[in-house]
Amino acid sequence: MSSIMQSNIENRISKLKLSKDKFLMPVFESISNSLQAIEDKFGNCFKNGKIVIKFIRDDNSQTTIEGIDKSLLPIKNIIIYDNGIGFNIENFQSFRTYDSPYKKNRGGKGEGRLYWLKVFEKAIISSTYFENNKYKTINFPFCIEDEGIDSEHVIYSDSEDSETSTKLELQNLKTKYNELYLVQLETIAKKIIKHFVSYFIDENCPQIIIEEDSNRINLNDYFKNTWLQGDISTQALEIKEQSFMLCYIKLKEVGNSNHKLHLCADKREVEEYNLKDFIPNLYSKLGNDVEDKYYYHVFVYSDYLNKLVKNDRSGFYTKDDDEKKMLYPLNIDDIVKNLIAKIKNDLNDEIEKIKNEKLNRISNYIKSSSPQYRILLNDKYVDKLDEIKPNKKGKELELDLYDKLYQLNREAKQNANTLLKKNLDKVEDREFFDNRIKEYLEQVSEVGKSQLASYVINRKALLELLSKLQKENRNGKYALEDAVHDTIFPMHNTSDDIDYTQHNLWAIDEKLAYHYYLASDKKLNQIDVIDTDSDKRPDIAIFDFPIMLTPDEKISAVTLIEFKRPERDDYTDEENPIKQIVDYVKLLRDAKKKSKNGETINITDSTPIYAYIIASLTPKLKEAANDVGYLTISPDGLGYFGFHPTHKIYFEIISYRKMIQDASDRNKILFDKLNL
């Protein structure tokens, strides 16, 4: 036996890498060879070529089962046919020589055919070629046992055919690949198109057909009709004196449910990157109309990438490959970085649109459901929200917001520590100061517990402060209503100006902490979310909107809060807090809400309005409450409640004593846990 291939083929095959996502590499290599053979034969008439790939499944053990769906069985054999130039003398000499330079100018690495024997037991080649004015046929097996090709098994004969062609049979899939080759024909179609997309986007691409039994898919038609959305465009780009060609494709096919960057070598994809990993906002489909939405794919070609690809096409050489640094100083990481920057710039309008929609949605969520994260809406920190992916919602969004807030707290602590360290020389007892610093740093690891404890302690302290404010001081005077107001919510501010932890609306009612927009001691004509000329100034006005805004968006509820100085009993008709609330409501019902598209929508008669009056139940106030006829004294005698039938206002008059007592009762379990 005289083997034509003298190299240790089994050893070489064992060193070949074959990742699960590239299990079809034997098919890819066969198609690549066929494309080159067709190009050699037809030249400029490349589209006259044809490749047919037939998949045969292993149904030997299933023949007794009637009606078995063969597509559910693993592929056993594959037959690849092309009408290319055939295995003429030059091609056969190249095939039987490892590391042949014959196809080097086409990106051939001399290892493609080894993938056949990596996955299958053997390959049988039958080819018709034209030589010396005659059509001839060559048949030979390719297998490990013969160290590749045994010259005794190569059979030449004259051919009756009048067209050159090659048929490759990959026989007997190796058992360890059964699971990978348990794959549907349409899935195979998608993978082949993806690998050879640079050919399919060319109108001169040869016909490529895959089939099994009666199922047949023309990949050229499948690509145009199922994948492609709109026109294909190209653009040149230079990176550090190296030229790259970018091909932009819009794909609508569901199998491409990501925007991707594809790096190619010798017209074939080598590596792909999910763009959402680099551009968080580039997550869902682009485009306006549902039918026109698409996924954005960029295919990159370059002579430089052709040189940078590894021999087995498993990837590109990176900056860590020392031997390549001198030859290829522009590494793949730098290339990707520049390409991402280019893509960001090209898609800037689309990305900004997605970003703004996301920020509006997150803003609505924070204001309506999780106000503890409101500080993240501050212009100084909103960039942290930009890092959150647009598809996050519910628990996932909550976790991301918590993480961003934690980062913010951590950065604040780090900045504080830096400042403290700068002032060490000014501290008289340096040792004591250093010990306090150490204790503080140890506490940072308990951020969650310490923040909760601090929050509960602040609640206890706030209730004690309110209790003092509503009592007579040494000079026989009571605190002004501004002091109470400021304690509950800082005056002259809105909910966009302060952090969630800086207000104490929970002392009145826990649900007040969850609101969309709040204005404290602001004139009505200065409030952003409504349109009115009135300069009346409610103590606190709260506006809530539906979480999901719709074309008929409207204010879903309004809450008004009025504070009165403790023990005040000199109300005039104009200063009667009940009448004040009613007057505000009349103005609000006439006001309009400002919407994003410039239109305005009335606060309708059906919009619920809730009113809280925080005051001492002095005789004058009791008299006013009893006179209106729709308020009822609370069971504990410390307040009033009722519904204004004409203006549809839910009223609560809450005495300071009742507010403090009720808030203490609600928080009692928390105070007890901390022994407060």
- pLDDT per position as a tens digit, 540-552: 998 887 654 444 4
The pLDDT score that the predictor gives to residue 653 is 94
Give Cβ neighbours of residue 370 (< 8 Å, ≥ 6 apart).
398, 401
How far from the centroid of its chain's Cα atoms is residue 132's Cα? 62
More confident residue, 387 or 86: 86
Q: Helices (H), strands (E): how many in the chain?
A: 20, 24
Element at 193 (helix H, strand E): helix 185-195
More confident residue, 458 or 355: 355
Q: Is the pLDDT of residue 648 over 80?
A: yes
The 10s digit of each residue's pLDDT in 284-342 is 788 777 667 888 889 899 999 888 888 776 788 776 665 666 677 788 889 999 999 99
Cα–Cα distances (Å) from 327 to 238, 243, 314, in that order, read 18, 16, 20
Per DSSP (E only), the strands in 291-374 are: 295-301
Task: Tell me the mean pLDDT in the region 527-535.
Answer: 84
The 10s digit of each residue's pLDDT in 496-511 is 887 766 788 888 888 8
Identify the CA nearest to 542 among candidates 529, 555, 523, 559: 559
pLDDT tens digits along 397-416: 888 888 888 887 777 666 55
For 420-431, letters b (16+ CB in 10 Å) and e give eeeeeeeeeeee
pLDDT band at 377 (very low <50, low <70, confident <90, very high): confident
Given phi > 0 = left and psi -120 to 50 = alpha, else beta, which region is 647? Answer: alpha
The string of DSSP letters for 616-662 reads ---HHHHHHHHHHSSEEE-TTSSEEEEEETTTTEEEEEE-HHHHHHH
Place of tokens 């409030």: 527
> Which range in 55-64, 529-538, 640-649, 660-669 is most confidently predicted, on average pLDDT?
640-649
User: Which residues are registered as beta bridge partners of 165?
Assistant: 128
> Who wins on pLDDT, 135 or 320?
135
- Is 0.85 surpassed by the pTM of this model? no
Q: Is 77 within 8 Å of 170 (Cβ atoms)?
A: yes
Percentage of the chain with pLDDT > 90?
Answer: 27
Burial class of residue 441, CB neighbours in 10 A (0-12, 13-18, 19+): exposed
The pLDDT, as a whole number, for residue 498 is 79
Instruction: Specify the CATH architecture of the domain 1-217.
Output: 2-Layer Sandwich (3.30)
H-helix segments, 470-590? 481-488, 577-590
Q: Which amino acid, residue 462?
A: L
Which residues make up the CATH 3.30.565.10 domain(s) of the chain?
A: 1-217
- Strands in 302-436 per DSSP E: none
How far are the Cα atoms of 361, 638, 655 from residue 635, in angstroms, in the given order? Answer: 42, 8, 13
Mean pLDDT (the chain) is: 80
pLDDT at 640 over 90: yes
Average confidence (pLDDT) over 85-109: 66
Q: Is 68 helix (H, G, I), strand (E, B) or coil?
A: coil
Residue 5 has pLDDT above 50, yes or no: no
Q: What is the pLDDT of residues 207-263, one digit of tens each?
A: 999 999 889 999 999 988 887 877 788 899 999 889 999 988 888 755 557 888 999
More confident residue, 206 or 470: 206
